[in-house]
Amino acid sequence: MTSILAHYSEIALKGKNRPWFIGRLVRHLHMALAGLSVKEIRTPMGRIEIVLGREAAADEIRDRMSRVFGIANYSVAARVPLDFDGMADAIVSRLPPRESVSSFRVYVRRADQHFAVPSPDLARDLGSKVWHARGWKVDLDHADLVISIEIVPRGAFLYMNKEPGPGGLPTGTAGRVVALLSGGIDSPVAAWRMMKRGCHVTLVHFHSAPFLSNTSQEKARRLAEVLTRYQLRSRLHLVPFGELQRQVTLSVPGDLRVVIYRRFMLRIAERIAKDARAKALVTGDVVGQVASQTLANIAATDSAVRMPIFRPLVGMDKEEIMAQAARLGTFGISIVPDQDTCTLFTPRHPETHARRHQVDEAEASLPVADLVKAAAAQAAVEDMTYPVVK
Ligand code: ATP
Ligand code: MG
């Protein structure tokens, strides 16, 4: 019988809430692996065992596992008998060819102490069997092949090498947030980082069609699809922003418009967040990256809303963010050229040190609440799911 044996990391620290975290993780795994011939998911002693049917597609399962937050590492494992000869035979029959590796070590962990032989003795004796079969040298620090035995009640798992999972906390365990998703490189990474910390993320994109093209909406949709591979269910709000921007131009001086647009984006997102029972907003701001992201401007935008605003990328360099975007699969979509909503009706050199009183004056003559309400009401809402099981 083949299984995937997975370990979780941080959940182990969650004390009394631990069963609840594990329950969420198991539920998420069931959803993530839907359609892939998973027979059962069990949780023997601090581990997760995904029992696979005969026709299970291991590669596809591994690919999906690599995006399930809360998983520290995982490997394809076999259940083996709880006696020395049974274990040794199981190991030797699964060893790769002699030439493919040059060093190994055996790692034994006894989650169930009823098994009488101490782990180091068992590791040494099993190691000796491997040495006789292949002649590889033992390397305790940098072995090419790590052969692991984990003893649980009534059985043991055998696996060779393990793959790193994405870490983080199971989706949804931290509650819900609303992320502002532009078509750029940063905001999808910001949304993903909140997902990784267990947040379910509702996505909001502002577009200026018909003043600008539909490209940004198409990009937001494609970015949302990639992000959905991590959280499995997403809602994307596409908010028409052009008419609001046109009204802003009537009374707000050019150099302040970007800050004012930002404040409106946050207010509309906050409204959507309240309806969705989300508790915080998320943006891809990075201090000093562009004119709208000076400390002064960030402070001037924040005061528009009461909800906490998370900026998980705030201290990262562009290079680091780009590398992360490439790993998670959004980079290629983000670099497709399009027109930036925030530059519609704005001068080339916007204000970099907006002050509170300037912002208040600029907004005094605007029907702020009505504009927010109208834009939120006109949003198109799209739901996405992953995987799509036929
Ligand atoms: P990004 O790559 O995320 O677009 P950026 O460097 O282009 O970042 P800005 O355009 O200044 O930065 O935007 C900063 C943040 O404001 C974005 O990360 C995003 O969270 C939010 N934002 C900007 N424009 C939009 C938009 N059209 N729709 C939704 N959110 C937006
Ligand atoms: Mg942008």
pLDDT per residue over 246-287, tens digit each?
Answer: 999 999 999 999 999 999 999 999 999 999 999 999 999 998
Asked if residue 135 and residue 201 are part of one domain, the reply reads no
Whether the predicted pLDDT of 292 surpasses 80: no
Angle between the 356-364 and 257-275 helix axes, to the nearest 10 degrees? 80
Domain assignment of residue 390, yes or no? no
Q: Which domain-ending residue is among 164, 190, 214?
A: 164
The last residue of one of the domains, among 139, 164, 189, is: 164
How far apart (Å, rounded) are the C-alpha atoms in residues 240 and 341? Answer: 10
Can you read off the two tokens belonging to residue 200?
């379910």
Q: What is the pLDDT of residue 45?
A: 87
- Of 82-96, 187-201, 286-300, the one with minimum mean pLDDT is 286-300
* Greater pLDDT, 14 or 194: 194
Residue 114 sits in the same domain as residue 246: no
Q: For the residues 64-84, what does the mean pLDDT come to?
A: 95
**Cβ(294) – ligand 1 distance below 6 Å:** no
Task: Answer yes or no: is 170 within a domain.
Answer: no
Q: How far apart are the C-alpha atoms of 345 and 84, rounded to whole Å?
A: 75
- Regarding whether 128 and 217 lie in a shared domain, the answer is no
Statement to judge: residues 186 and 94 lie in one domain: no
pLDDT, averaged across the chain: 94
% the chain with pLDDT above 70: 99
Q: Do 221 and 352 belong together in one domain?
A: yes
Reported as a single tens digit per residue, the pLDDT across 143-176 is: 999 999 999 988 899 999 899 999 999 999 999 9
Per-residue pLDDT for 92 more than 90?
A: yes
Model pLDDT for residues 31-70, shown as the tens digit of each residue: 999 999 999 999 988 899 999 998 888 889 999 999 999 9
pLDDT recorded at residue 354:
86
Q: Tokens for 27?
A: 């539920």
At residue 70, what is the residue type?
G
Residue that wins the pLDDT comparison between 276 and 114: 276
Residue 382 clears pLDDT 80, i.e. is over it = yes
Max CA distance (Å), the chain:
85
Q: How confident is the model at residue 116, as a pLDDT? A: 84
3-state percent helix, strand, coil for the chain, nearest multiple of 5: 45, 25, 35
Domain match, 144 and 285 both: no
**All residues at 6 or more sequence positions from 380 whose CB lies less than 8 Å from its CB, including other chains:** 237, 238
Q: Tell me phi and psi for residue 314, to 5 degrees.
A: -55, -35
Q: Who surrounds ion ligand 2 at CB < 5 A?
A: 182, 184
% the chain with pLDDT above 90: 82
Checking if the pLDDT of 1 tops 80, the result is no
Distance between CA atoms of residues 43 and 23, nearest Å: 9
Is the pLDDT at 15 greater than 90, yes or no? no
Q: What is the domain extent for residue 105?
A: 2-164
Å from CA of 310 to ligand 2 middle: 16
Burial class from Cβ neighbours inside 10 Å (0-12, 13-18, 19+) for residue 194 reads: buried
8-state DSSP, 299? H
Q: Identify whether 341 is part of a domain.
A: yes
* pLDDT attached to residue 106: 98
225 within a domain of the structure (yes/no) = yes
Distance CA 290, CA 18 (A): 42
Structural domain contains residue 201: yes
Q: Is the pLDDT of residue 308 over 90?
A: yes
Ligand 2 centroid distance, CA of 348 (Å): 15
Does residue 346 line the site of ligand 1, with CB under 6 A? no
Mutate to test the pocket of ligand 1, among 178, 181, 187, 216 (most ligand atoms within 8 A of CB): 187
Q: What is the pLDDT of residue 249?
A: 93
Inside any domain, residue 41: yes
CATH code, domain carrying 40: 3.30.2130.30
- Residue 345: give its domain's CATH number: 3.40.50.620
In this structure, are 139 and 206 located in the same domain?
no
Cα dihedral 8, 12, 13, 18, rounded to 10, equals 110
**Within this chain, do residues 180 and 302 fall inside the same structural domain, yes or no?**
yes
pLDDT at residue 12 in the model: 62
Of the pLDDT bands very low, low, confident and very high (cuts 50, 70, 90), residue 329 is very high
In this prediction, residue 349 has a pLDDT band, given cuts at 50, 70 and 90, of confident
Rounded distance, CA 62 to CA 180, Å?
30
pTM over 0.75, yes/no: yes
Do 196 and 126 lie in one domain? The reply is no
Any domain includes 56: yes
Structure tokens at 89: 């035979």
**pLDDT value at 288 more than 70:** yes
Residues 81 and 106 grouped into a single domain? yes
Q: Are 94 and 217 part of one and the same domain?
A: no
Question: Last residue of some domain: 133, 164, 195?
Answer: 164
Tell me if 169 is assigned to some domain: no
User: Count of domains in the chain?
Assistant: 2
DSSP 58-113: HHHHHHHHTT-TTEEEEEEEEEE-SSHHHHHHHHHHHPPPGGG-SEEEEEEEESST
Question: In this structure, are 131 and 274 located in the same domain?
Answer: no
Atom of ligand 1 nearest to the CA of 341: 27
Cβ count near 228 (within 10 Å): 21
- What distance in Å separates the CA atoms of residue 390 and residue 93, rounded to the nearest whole number? 37
